[in-house]
Amino acid sequence: MNWFTRVRNSLPFVAKRSTEETLWVKCPGCSEMLFTREYEENLRVCPRCGHHGRIGADERLRQLLDEGYEVLPQPEVAEDPLKFRDSKKYTDRLKQARAKNPHRDAFTVGSGAIEGHPAVVGVQDFGFMGGSMGMAVGTAFCQGAQRALTRKCAYIVATAAGGARMQEGILSLMQMPKATVMTRRLKEAGLPYIVLLTDPTTGGVTASYAMLGDVHIAEPGALIGFAGQRVIQDTIREKLPEGFQRAEYLHKHGMVDMVVGRHELRGTLASLLDYLQPRAAA
């Protein structure tokens, strides 16, 4: 193995794509072909239809935090305690996901500031096994909260999950109360906890830390819900209402405070943090 292949293999998340594919990207919203570089420079928001594309943890942290933030190492948790196997072994699925992602699981924490306001930001990455919540995600969420408690600053979490990490069975379900222990501690410490709901946020994540914020912000068009749309459709056997479980729909039904486009997120968070200042211990 020569030096180059070694390096390339150690950077497995650098996809080998043809120039053609790298140059252009198709908008998932309006199918328009966009220049990749321009799309990325526009924070992966389609300039034509405003569709907000999904972004990874590192990109999200870069977009939200001031330069010079620290990325916390992801926690080591018991791996595959159930020895789970469907058509594939869970350990193989993990290996596969890690080969395509710079992180070892779906939740990454950055500690820094947003326009000068001290903040810890946790980001759930849909790109890693659908952002599914298992022990690594739950534990990383808790470590982010713990860092905010130590720094006595705000905790902001960008949620994204297709569901639970079924391969961890009940242990994944137990992450719901576990994360809730920490949101309670933030509340007791008088620290702000802000949730940024991104596409998609569903299942147990929605029914725990995604719905317990002091302020809920949703990205435009984000799918947010508890039950899956197909499950609901099979239950009621009717057509779902227009825009059902989308960010704007949740705003209308009182579940989120505001729908904010990606370009305004940093500024919005900074203004909120200005109001939600931790009170000095009495």
Residues that bind another protein (CB under 8 A): 75-78, 81-82, 84-87, 134-136, 138-139, 142-143, 146, 163-164, 166-178, 180-181, 183-184, 203-204, 206-212, 225-228, 231-232, 235-236, 238, 240-241, 244-245, 253-255
Choose among another protein, Zn ion, none what residue 30 binds, the Cβ cut-off being 5 to 8 Å by kind: Zn ion
Whether 216 and 257 have beta carbons less than 8 Å apart is answered as yes
49 assigned binding-site residue = yes
In Å, how far from its chain's centre is CA 100? 17
Q: Determine the Cα–Cα distance for residues 25 and 21; give it in Å rounded to an integer.
A: 7
Q: Which of 6, 37, 48, 100 binds Zn ion (CB under 5 A)?
A: 48
Q: Quote the least distance from Cβ 183 to another protein, whole Å.
A: 7
Q: Note whether 26 binds Zn ion by CB under 5 A.
A: no
Q: Does 27 bind Zn ion (CB under 5 A)?
A: yes
Closest to another protein by CB, 101 vs 202, is 202
Helical (H) or strand (E) element with 76: none
- Least Å distance, CB 138 to another protein, is 6
3-class secondary structure per residue, 207-267: CCHHHCCCEEEECCCCEEECCCHHHHHHHHCCCCCCCCCEHHHHHHCCCCCEECCHHHHHH
Rounded to 10 degrees, the C-alpha dihedral 48/27/44/276 comes to 80
Which one-letter amino acid corresponds to residue 243?
G
In the complex, least distance from residue 29 CB atom to another protein, rounded to whole angstroms = 23
Helix (H, G, I), strand (E, B) or coil at 166: helix
The verdict on whether residue 153 carries a ligand-binding annotation is no
Contact between residue 114 and residue 158 where contact means Cβ atoms under 8 Å apart = no
Residue 46 binding Zn ion, by CB under 5 A: yes
The amino acid present at 134, given as its one-letter code, is G
142 annotated ligand binder = no
Tokens representing 47 are: 């300039």
**Minimal distance in Å, beta carbon 173 to another protein?**
4
What interhelical angle do 135-151 and 175-188 show, nearest 10? 10
Least separation in angstroms between residue 189's CB and another protein is 14
- By the 8 A CB rule, do 144 and 178 touch? no
Question: Which of the choices Zn ion, another protein, none does residue 27 contact, using the CB cut-off of 5 to 8 A by kind?
Answer: Zn ion
> For residue 198, what is the enclosing H or E element?
strand 193-202
| Shortest Å, Cβ 167 to another protein | 8
What residue 174 binds from another protein, Zn ion, none (CB within 5 to 8 A, per partner kind)? another protein
Point out the annotated binding site. 27, 30, 46, 49
Q: Which residues would be at the binding site for Zn ion (CB under 5 A)? A: 27, 29-30, 46, 48-49, 51
Point out the annotated binding site for Zn(2+). 27, 30, 46, 49
